[in-house]
Amino acid sequence: MITFKKILFCNDFSESAKWAFPYALELAKLHDGKIYILHIVPETDRYLFGYSLPEDLKNQIEQEQKKKIEEGFKETCIDQMGDFKNYEFIIKEGDVPFIEILEFAKENDVDIIVMGTHGRTGLTHVLFGSTAENVVRKSSCPVLTVRHPERKLKL
């Protein structure tokens, strides 16, 4: 039987991510699993005027950022969680989100990745690519992508 004990939920605080979260939560509940709630922070946020910040200041910023991200997530999704407590917030640095997502998934042996998709098309998609598309193409584990229903698919 296939089970999903380690579920990676990629959270970028978009409407698509909010829409995808209940899928991750339901999988975790059905399989008595754990949700890793991952948010990627650009590495460039760790520099000031081209110089690396002192280590203690980096740590302070990271703790404040993590607290802010957790509070933001709880404001939008905590009502869905009910009595579910098996989750962990992760903040990872990186300028290419799909690489950070795939590395985390591999390092933590996750069973499935759940993420929203923005459904970008045309020039925006060509210029920036798609994090979800790259994760789907390169992941070694299953990936569940969820499109927000208000986003129209252009054929």
Whole-number pLDDT of residue 76: 67
pLDDT of 105 reads 98
pTM: 0.81
CA end-to-end span of the chain, whole Å? Answer: 37
d(CA 57, CA 60): 5
* Contact by Cβ (8 Å): 12, 40: yes
The predicted pLDDT at position 79 comes to 73
The residue ranges of the chain whose pLDDT is under 50 are 123-128, 155
pLDDT confidence of residue 126:
44
Give the pLDDT score at 60: 80
Q: Residue 114 has which token pair?
A: 């759940």
Which pLDDT belongs to residue 127?
42
Above pLDDT 90, what percent of the chain?
Answer: 40
Structural domains in the chain plus CATH codes: 32-147 (3.40.50.620)
Cα distance between residue 110 and residue 113, in whole Å:
7
Strands 51-52 and 47-48: antiparallel
